[in-house]
């Protein structure tokens, strides 16, 4: 028993001595060496890494190449200045597929959708529409949020849309004069009422002021739905076997 106590005492003495003897040392960088390592075809393939990755790549390729629908014609975000079929498709997909999610959580439906022209990153090409197509159209991790906007903020939204960019919208109509100025903005066919509020679905990127859409950054209320826009497109493609959106009268220039 005495021997055991002596052993414990010696152990603690050693630990105390070690920590007591430690001093904080300061080090300053005096030199940084670097060299360029070229990565090209001269580097031999590591077969063990290739063998490890191959099953995952095969599974991903199979998923990305899976055919969801068919597009009879090619459409692009540059097809028109004010209104594009591809933009209409994306906004309508959000309105149709996300509204039931919003209603299940809140008991309400949102009134309209606004996305951004720059968020469309590829055309929808004629032929098979795959999971990979959705990733090409929307490679970002943007997800749908619903903002509640005042009548004043909605008027700011219409002034922004009148600047002449084909931003994807759904259930909104922008009527422009001959000189391009805003004559009227309608939501679900009605003019804005100043003391009303409106639920608008958009992306989290735009809600934070992206593309200078500052009217979305201070909403009356905000709800994040955890539904990525890319996944909305995938679900939309699965729902419809033929993807053939058209231009319509969402933007009118008199």
Confidence label for 7 from pLDDT (cuts 50, 70 and 90) = very low
Q: Is 133 exposed, middle or buried (0-12, 13-18, 19+ CB in 10 A)?
A: buried
Q: What is the pTM of this model?
A: 0.80
Confidence label for 122 from pLDDT (cuts 50, 70 and 90) = very high
- Arithmetic mean of pLDDT, 197-219: 97
For residue 5, the model assigns a pLDDT of 42
Choice between 56 and 230, residue whose per-residue pLDDT is larger: 230
- β-pair partners for 172: 187
d(CA 168, CA 163): 14
% of the chain beyond a pLDDT of 70: 90
d(CA 7, CA 13): 10
CATH second-level architecture of 64-253?
Alpha-Beta Complex (3.90)
Q: What are the tens digits of pLDDT across the range 204-214?
A: 999 999 999 99
Strands 251-253 and 172-176: parallel
d(CA 128, CA 71): 6
Residues 6+ apart with CB under 8 A from 65: 130, 131, 132
Q: What are the tens digits of pLDDT across the range 124-151?
A: 999 999 999 999 999 999 999 999 999 9
% of the chain beyond a pLDDT of 90: 70
In degrees, rounded to 5, the angle at the alpha carbon of residue 178 between the alpha carbons of residues 177 and 182 is 25
Per DSSP, the residues of 211-252 read GG-GGGSS-SEEEEEEEEHHHHHHHHHHH-SB------SSEE
Q: What are the tens digits of pLDDT across the range 16-74?
A: 444 444 555 667 778 888 888 788 888 888 888 888 888 877 878 777 889 999 999 99
Per DSSP, the residues of 130-145 read EHHHHHHH--S--EEE
Kindly tell me the sign of the dihedral angle through the C-alpha atoms of 81, 83, 85, 90: positive
């Amino acid at each position: 028993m005495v021997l055991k106590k002596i052993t414990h005492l010696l152990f603690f003495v050693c630990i105390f001595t070690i920590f007591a003897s430690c001093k904080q040392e300061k080090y300053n960088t005096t030199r940084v060496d670097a060299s360029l390592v070229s990565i090209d075809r001269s580097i031999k393939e590591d077969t063990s890494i290739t063998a490890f990755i191959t099953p995952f790549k095969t599974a991903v390729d199979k998923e990305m190449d899976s055919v969801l629908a068919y597009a009879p014609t090619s459409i692009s975000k540059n097809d028109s200045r004010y209104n594009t079929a591809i933009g209409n498709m994306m906004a309508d997909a959000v309105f149709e597929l996300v509204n039931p999610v919003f209603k299940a959580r809140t008991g309400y439906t949102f009134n309209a959708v606004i996305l951004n022209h720059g968020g469309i990153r590829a055309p929808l090409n004629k032929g098979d529409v795959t999971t990979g197509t959705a990733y090409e159209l929307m490679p970002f991790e943007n997800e749908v949020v619903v903002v509640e906007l005042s009548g004043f903020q909605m008027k700011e939204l219409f002034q922004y849309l009148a600047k002449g960019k084909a931003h994807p919208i759904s259930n909104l109509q922008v009527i422009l004069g001959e000189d391009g100025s805003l004559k009227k903005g309608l939501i679900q066919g009605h003019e804005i009422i100043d003391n009303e509020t409106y639920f608008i679905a958009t992306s989290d990127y735009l809600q934070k002021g992206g593309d200078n859409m500052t009217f979305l950054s201070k909403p009356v209320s905000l709800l994040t739905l955890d539904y990525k826009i890319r996944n909305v497109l995938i679900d939309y493609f699965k729902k419809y076997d033929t993807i053939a959106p058209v231009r319509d009268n969402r933007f009118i220039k008199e």
